[in-house]
Amino acid sequence: MKKTITLDRKSLFSKRHRIVIKVGSAVLAPSEKGLDENRIGRLAAEISDLLDQGREVVLVSSGAIAAGLTKLNLTKTKGMPLSLKQAAAAIGQSGLMWMYEKTFSAHGRKVAQVLLTREDLSNRTRFLNARNTLHTLLDYGVVPIINENDTVSVDEIKFGDNDSLSGMVVHLVDADLLVILSDVDGLYTVDPKLDSSAELVSIVEKITADMDRAAGDAQTLVGTGGMRSKIMTARKVGAYGAPMVILNGKKTGMIQALFAGREVGTLFLPRPEKQDSRKHWIAYTVRASGKVVVDDGGREALVNKGKSLLPGGVVKVEGSFKVGECVTCVDRAGQAFARGLVKYSSTDLERIKGLRTTQIASILGRKDYDEVIHRDDLVIL
């Protein structure tokens, strides 16, 4: 983690044309009074400025649950049944969109509501459909406003949080920048609430394993929770060649300051090479339905020799999956090292694991493929 490197920020950001902006509930609904209309109005003004400059913006907005709870005169989500949170989201989402309608139309701008679940992006056909719709909205100059479809989202199909969703949206719409508007200035060297020597990190050139580990305990890295999911999101969008910036969404004018080249927030630089879209989808978007434990020889063939996974390398099958679904490849120690789409179901794989490819037909009565995961459907993590 470096704090300063020389960088022409103005030229970096002037080249960013399609931008995903994620705004959190703590920014939009900072108190128990619910949505802060002034703040939403300022956000609409700042985004409209970007559109006036010829850029395209997709907004990922939280705030539905917070707004719904206020309407129900409830304050805390802790210990609350999932169905009540989902009901609050349903109540709050329409109020949230109403405020965006109002504030964007003051600038002559149109908005569209898009609600997604992880399932929608995990399914390649639905992913591509959502992509087409979003591209069409952008072609018409509309600002898509995306939120998780909380009403139907249960744990298994949840994005987890909107940071994670926004990272997937970068890939979905092929954006070239992600801006996360948070309630803190950015990433700190240590928790600023616990240590007065904490410094804001201006640039992160590379996300190291140390940072991942430190962020595992959000409290030790920064004053608010959620830094871990932001770092994971930065890794995800960085692999897609897009920088990510965390800005304080409670302060006015931060977006303009960023595009003017001022050193604000924390900038995560992307990886130099952009991962292919389908491989990125396999690595970061699709949900894994199971695991295959791979022996040392199989791991070596996949990681260092660019080979496909054959039945002989599989020592154990975990979970239940169908042909075409995604699995995580783990080594004997349980360490995940790859993800890929399988050519055999878990039931068939259970029967052919450890065998030579020449034995597949005699066991299954057919041999559809030599490989369990073809190289083209495999991503090394």
CA distances to 54, 176, 318, 377 from 260, in Å: 15, 17, 51, 41
Nearer to ligand GLU, 11 or 31 (CB): 31
Q: In whole angstroms, give the CA distance from residue 85 to residue 69.
A: 8
Smallest distance, ligand GLU to C-beta of residue 123, A: 20
Burial class (CB in 10 A: 0-12, 13-18, 19+), 323: middle
**Closer CB to ligand GLU, 89 or 232, in the complex:** 89
Compare residues 48 and 147 and give the one whose CB is closer to ligand GLU. 147
The residue among 24 and 265 lying less far from ligand GLU, judged by its C-beta, is 24
CA angle 49, 52, 58 (to 5 degrees): 70
The residue among 147 and 346 lying less far from ligand GLU, judged by its C-beta, is 147
Please report how close the Cβ of residue 143 comes to ligand GLU at its closest, in angstroms. 17
Q: Smallest distance from the beta carbon of 230 to ligand GLU, in angstroms?
A: 11
Q: Are strands 111-116 and 266-268 parallel, antiparallel or unpaired?
A: unpaired
What CA–CA distances, in Å, run from 86 to 77, 91, 99, 153, 245? 11, 9, 20, 8, 30
Binding site for ligand GLU (CB under 6 A): 24-25, 62-66, 89, 147-148, 150, 161-162
Residues 6+ apart with CB under 8 A from 303: 337, 338, 380
Closest CB to ligand GLU among residues 114, 372: 114
227-239 helix and 162-173 helix, angle to the nearest 10 degrees? 10
* Min dist. Cβ of residue 64 to ligand GLU (A): 3
Per this entry, what is the length of the chain? 381
- Nearer of residues 93 and 346 to ligand GLU, judged by Cβ: 93
Per the structure block, which two tokens stand in for 140? 């018409």
Which residue, 50 or 91, is less far from ligand GLU as judged by CB? 91
Q: Distance (Å, rounded) from C-alpha 250 to C-alpha 96?
A: 17
**What are the residue ranges of helices labelled H in the chain?**
9-14, 25-28, 37-52, 64-71, 82-105, 118-122, 124-139, 162-173, 209-216, 218-221, 227-239, 254-259, 277-280, 296-303, 346-352, 360-364
Phi, psi (degrees; rounded to nearest 5) at 161 = -160, 170
Give me the least distance between CB of 65 and ligand GLU, in Å please.
3
Tokens 């580990």 -> residue: 213
Look up residue 237 and give its amino acid: V
The CB-of-265 to ligand GLU minimum distance in angstroms stands at: 18
In the complex, the smallest distance separating the C-beta of residue 275 from ligand GLU, rounded to whole angstroms, is: 25
Whichever of 118 and 291 has its CB closer to ligand GLU, that residue is 118
Taking Cα atoms as reference points, which of 321, 21, 319, 305 lies closest to residue 144?
21
Dihedrals φ, ψ of 108, to 5°?
A: 70, 25
DSSP-based three-state secondary structure for 157: helix
Of 159 and 268, the one with the shorter C-beta distance to ligand GLU is 159
Instruction: Provide the minimum distance between the beta carbon of 35 and ligand GLU in the complex, in angstroms, as a whole number.
Output: 11
Residue 198 beta carbon to ligand GLU: minimum distance, rounded to whole angstroms: 24
- Least Å distance, CB 89 to ligand GLU, is 6
C-alpha 242: how far from chain center: 12
